[in-house]
Amino acid sequence: MSKLNHIVILTGAGISAESGIDTFRSEGGLWEQYPIEQVATPEGFAADPALVHNFYNMRRAALKTVKPNAAHIALAKLEKGLHARGGSLTIITQNVDNLHEQGGAENVIHMHGILTSLLCQFCGHRWESHEDTSPNDSCIACQRRSGPRPDIVWFGEMPYELDRIDQVMSQADLFVSIGTSGAVYPAAGLVSEARRRGTKTLELNLEESQGSYLFDESRLGKAGDIVPKWVAEVLAA
């Protein structure tokens, strides 16, 4: 593997599966337990804010009981190793957990938001919060009651930091996709963007994804096993 210095990694729910966080579309996944339109759309939130607050309260509370796994820790090691040789790592995650940060990664873009942040639907103020929320809460900035909502990108909403994502993709030597089914755009379109730019592409996933055919190389296995192995290869090059 030629020396790679600027790597962009897209991660999905599969990288957190071995930490005990449900994926969305695997057997018994979150979208089998909860209808997307009720808990992950602006319309669902408007119709029943208490239900949506509770869905995210349950997922936020679960964060306090899980730990980063070997894959999260390996990526943090990769970030430090690339820095040491004048390179860079950007992790673009679709996940709303904070396991990349808990594992030591610093340069993380949460394109679908994060469970530990709240957003005021009236004034747009964002703030960190780890506690349960309800429709009776007030925004800490504008004080409007029922202002706070989960700072999560719901279906039909614009993902965050798309300009920054475009900028890092334009400088990447390698684009790696880890633990995602390639079902949701624009995340699922990043591999095609990488190919258009002539950037090498690698997929590390438990099984074939919808976009496997688009990758130069696709390695199948559990992230906790194949990600540390791949990181060791890159850092040894």
Chain positions 33 to 92 lying near ligand APR, rule: CB under 6 A, are none
Amino acid identity for residue 206 in this structure? L
Measuring CA to CA, which residue among 182, 237, 235 is closest to residue 212? Answer: 182
- Determine the Cα–Cα distance for residues 208 and 210; give it in Å rounded to an integer: 7
Instruction: Write out the binding residues for ligand APR, residues 83-112 only, by CB under 6 A.
Output: 94, 112
| Residue that is written with structure tokens 């340069």 in the block | 107
Residue 32 engages ligand APR in binding (rule: CB under 6 A) = no
Strands 88-93 and 108-110: parallel
List 209, 211, 231, 234, residue binding ligand APR (CB under 6 A): 209
- Active-site pick, 83, 112, 125, 130: 112
- Region near ligand APR per CB under 6 A, out of 74-82, 133-141, 178-186, 191-199: 178-186
Query: Please, which of residues 183-202 interact with ligand APR by CB under 6 A?
Result: 183-184
- Rg, Å, the chain Cα set: 18
- The answer to whether 112 is a known catalytic residue is yes
CB 44 within 8 A of CB 37: yes
Can residue 181 be called a binding residue for ligand APR (CB under 6 A)?
yes
When asked if residue 13 is in the footprint of ligand APR (CB under 6 A), the reply is yes
Q: Distances in Å between the alpha carbon of 55 and those of 52, 152, 170?
A: 5, 12, 36
150 near ligand APR (CB under 6 A)? no
Q: Which stretch binds ligand APR (CB under 6 A): 55-63, 166-174, 179-187, 190-198?
A: 179-187
Tell which one of 7, 55, 205, 230 touches ligand APR (CB under 6 A): 205
Contact between 141 and ligand APR (CB under 6 A)?
A: no
Could you tell me which stretch among 83-91, 100-108, 133-141, 177-185 binds ligand APR (CB under 6 A)? 177-185
- Burial class of residue 224 (count of CB atoms within 10 Å of its CB; 0-12, 13-18, 19+): middle
Helix (H) or strand (E) holding 224: helix 223-236
Torsion, CA 196, CA 201, CA 204, CA 206, rounded to 10: 40
Which residues of this chain interact with ligand APR, rule CB under 6 A?
Answer: 12-14, 17-18, 23-26, 29, 94, 112, 179-181, 183-184, 205-207, 209, 222-223
- Active site members: 112
